[in-house]
């Protein structure tokens, strides 16, 4: 490769990957093994003591997964990443590295329903407390800050409502408070926006969605931006205090700008154990190779479908930031100039029952709880993904009774429109 900085599509195919040194295989092999043989006792000791990089046990590191980690880090523009079993696992590991019992973080109300549940309920078992703020009002994050705040969490494009977050505005608040900004970049992917360029410190992905892109594998990724100074900050002892597990090593001092990724691996993944399967890493790597092609088609198709539904007499409203009249259109132009993503919501006239009826009558769209597939997907969030929330929480999250969420695939867009027209007529 030349000295020229590789483009996005080139990185999607080549970053982290090299021909297998033993066999010459060009595609990254699936290293489907539990453990790895050490060169000698000194080599083993250096690996366990974090004096050398290498493979010990697939729960902690694996050569197939290492390529996935390097590739996603390269696409996002961060120095290091950690791949785990799912997007939820990525969030749990990231917060485990940041939080102590009784501490708080601030999260946007406009989030995936599963994240809202995780933050509201599961995290309370660790005595991690969430305070909610509204991305439409960045100052609400400022108002929610306290001495116990350890992080701010938002989605770049929110699921399900397609809300585009003003990352720079919220980053400025996080930086004044000296807390890391965590951005879930699942819906946008680095093809549409790279949050580190707008002030994020940590990026989270559900690789199950657009990165893998084919609905066949579960995975999550944490990307370290290398921008937060953990050294000497007593609020983050996992990084800034001597670690008894490693003979008093201070991870922030030893590993510098990728200390957070290391801490997530050797203090979180090592002990909590949500490791990604090497086979899933392989499938997600294969999906990433076509990420730029797929994301552009997703965006183009989504815009065409949204434009059609906006004029439909049985549709009350359409929330897609790619539409010029949408309240988030200017932010989409600023943060996602290539397109506003492949997921959006709309309201069916007739409310809750009409939304369920539409889903029942669609034929080409698959009714399931996922997004980011090559296939077009549909769900009625109020009766499924956001069912556990109160009515007020559903509305705040963009999942009111009339809301239908579409994840637009890469099929011929005329076929998608025809399927929607027939279902709406029914």
Distance between CA atoms of residues 26 and 212, nearest Å: 20
Alpha carbon of 24 to those of 39, 82, 281, 348, 409: distances in Å? 22, 26, 20, 55, 35
Alpha carbon of 299 to those of 86, 111, 199, 239: distances in Å? 24, 20, 25, 39
Average pLDDT over residues 97-102: 98
pLDDT of residue 165: 97
Phi/psi at 164 (5° precision) = -95, 125
Distance between CA atoms of residues 35 and 61, nearest Å: 9
Average pLDDT over residues 235-262: 97
163/298 same-domain check: no
Distance between CA atoms of residues 75 and 12, nearest Å: 7
281/304 same-domain check: no
66/92 same-domain check: yes
Strands (E), 39-164: 80-84, 104-108, 129-133, 149-155
- The residue whose two tokens read 């730029």 is 292
130/61 same-domain check: yes
Distance between CA atoms of residues 318 and 379, nearest Å: 15
277/304 same-domain check: no
Does residue 412 form part of some domain? Answer: yes
Average pLDDT over residues 391-404: 81
Confidence of residue 1 (pLDDT cuts 50, 70, 90): low
Average pLDDT over residues 214-236: 97
Domain boundary among 227, 252, 287: 287
Tell me the pairing of strands 181-184 and 202-206: parallel
- Taking only the tens place, the pLDDT of each residue in 53-91 is 999 999 999 999 999 999 999 999 999 999 999 999 999
CB 371 within 8 A of CB 311: no
Confidence of residue 385 (pLDDT cuts 50, 70, 90): confident
Where residue 309 sits, what CATH number does that domain have?
3.90.1150.10
Does residue 13 form part of some domain? Answer: no
Average pLDDT over residues 223-249: 96
Domain boundary among 287, 322, 351: 287
Does residue 15 form part of some domain? Answer: no
Strand partners, 369: none
Which domain does 401 fall in, by range? 291-425
Does residue 261 form part of some domain? Answer: yes
- The residue whose two tokens read 């580190």 is 196
- Find the distance separating the first CA and the last CA of the chain, reported in whole Å: 56
245/193 same-domain check: yes
CB atoms within 10 A of CB 10: 14
Distance between CA atoms of residues 277 and 332, nearest Å: 35
Considering the entire predicted model, what is its pTM? 0.95
Does residue 16 form part of some domain? Answer: no
173/207 same-domain check: yes
Residue 412 per-residue DSSP state:
-
138/237 same-domain check: yes
Residue 2: which region, alpha, beta or left (left: phi > 0; alpha: psi -120 to 50)? Answer: beta
Tell me the pairing of strands 343-348 and 403-407: antiparallel
For the ranges 196-205, 304-313, 373-382, the lowest mean pLDDT is seen at: 373-382
Strands (E), 302-364: 315-319, 343-348
pLDDT of residue 257: 97
Instruction: Tell which residue, 174, 173, 171, 155, has the closest CA to residue 163.
Output: 155
184/262 same-domain check: yes
Does residue 19 form part of some domain? Answer: no
Q: How many domains does the chain have?
A: 2
User: Is 352's pLDDT higher than 90?
Assistant: no
- With vertex at residue 85, the alpha carbon angle to CA 84 and CA 89, rounded to the nearest 5 degrees, is 75
CA torsion sign for 76, 81, 85, 88 is negative
297/402 same-domain check: yes
- Taking only the tens place, the pLDDT of each residue in 107-163 is 999 998 889 999 999 999 999 999 999 999 999 999 999 999 999 999 999 987 789
280/363 same-domain check: no
415/333 same-domain check: yes
Does residue 14 form part of some domain? Answer: no
Phi/psi at 344 (5° precision) = -155, 170
Phi/psi at 354 (5° precision) = -65, -35
Where residue 85 sits, what CATH number does that domain have?
3.40.640.10
CB 275 within 8 A of CB 61: no
Distance between CA atoms of residues 399 and 390, nearest Å: 11
CA torsion sign for 264, 20, 191, 76 is positive
Strands (E), 138-275: 149-155, 181-184, 202-206, 220-224
- The residue whose two tokens read 């720079």 is 168
Domain boundary among 287, 321, 347: 287
Does residue 18 form part of some domain? Answer: no
Average pLDDT over residues 294-300: 98
């Amino acid at each position: 490769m030349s000295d020229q900085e590789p483009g996005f599509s080139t990185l999607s195919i080549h970053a982290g990957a090299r021909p297998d040194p033993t066999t010459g295989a060009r595609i990254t092999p699936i290293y489907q093994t539990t453990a790895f043989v050490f060169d000698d006792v000194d080599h083993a000791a250096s690996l366990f003591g974090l004096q050398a990089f290498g493979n010990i046990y697939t729960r902690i590191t694996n050569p197939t997964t290492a390529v996935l980690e390097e590739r996603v880090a390269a696409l996002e523009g961060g120095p290091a990443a950690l791949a785990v079993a799912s997007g939820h696992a990525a969030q749990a590991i990231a917060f485990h590295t940041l939080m102590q019992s009784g501490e708080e973080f601030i999260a946007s109300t406009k989030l995936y329903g599963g994240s809202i549940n995780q933050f509201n309920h599961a995290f309370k078992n660790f005595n991690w407390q969430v305070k909610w703020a509204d991305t439409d009002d960045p100052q609400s994050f400022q108002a929610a800050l306290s001495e116990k705040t350890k992080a701010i969490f938002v989605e770049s494009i929110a699921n399900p409502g397609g809300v585009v977050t003003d990352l720079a505005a919220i980053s400025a608040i996080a930086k004044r408070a000296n807390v890391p900004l965590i951005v879930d970049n699942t819906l946008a992917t680095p093809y549409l926006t790279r949050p580190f360029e707008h002030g994020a410190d940590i990026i989270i992905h559900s690789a199950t969605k657009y990165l893998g892109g084919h609905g066949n594998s579960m995975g999550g990724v944490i990307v370290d931006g290398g921008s937060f100074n953990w050294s000497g900050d007593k609020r983050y002892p996992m990084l800034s205090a001597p670690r008894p597990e490693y003979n008093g090593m201070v991870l922030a001092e030893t590993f510098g700008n990728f200390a957070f990724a290391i801490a997530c691996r050797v203090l979180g993944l090592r002990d909590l154990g949500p490791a990604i399967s090497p086979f899933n890493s392989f499938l997600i790597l294969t999906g990433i190779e076509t990420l730029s092609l797929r994301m552009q088609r997703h965006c183009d198709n989504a815009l065409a479908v949204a434009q059609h539904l906006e004029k439909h007499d049985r549709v009350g409203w359409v929330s897609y930031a790619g539409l010029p009249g949408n309240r988030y259109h200017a932010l989409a132009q600023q943060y996602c100039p290539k397109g506003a993503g492949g997921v959006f919501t709309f309201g069916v006239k007739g409310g809750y029952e009409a939304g369920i009826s539409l889903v029942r009558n669609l034929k080409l769209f698959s009714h399931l709880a996922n997004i980011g597939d090559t296939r077009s997907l549909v769900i009625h969030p109020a009766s499924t993904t956001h069912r556990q929330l109160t009515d007020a929480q559903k509305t705040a999250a963009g999942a009111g009774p009339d809301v239908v969420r579409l994840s637009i695939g890469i099929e011929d867009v005329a076929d998608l429109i025809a399927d929607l027209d027939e279902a709406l007529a029914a």
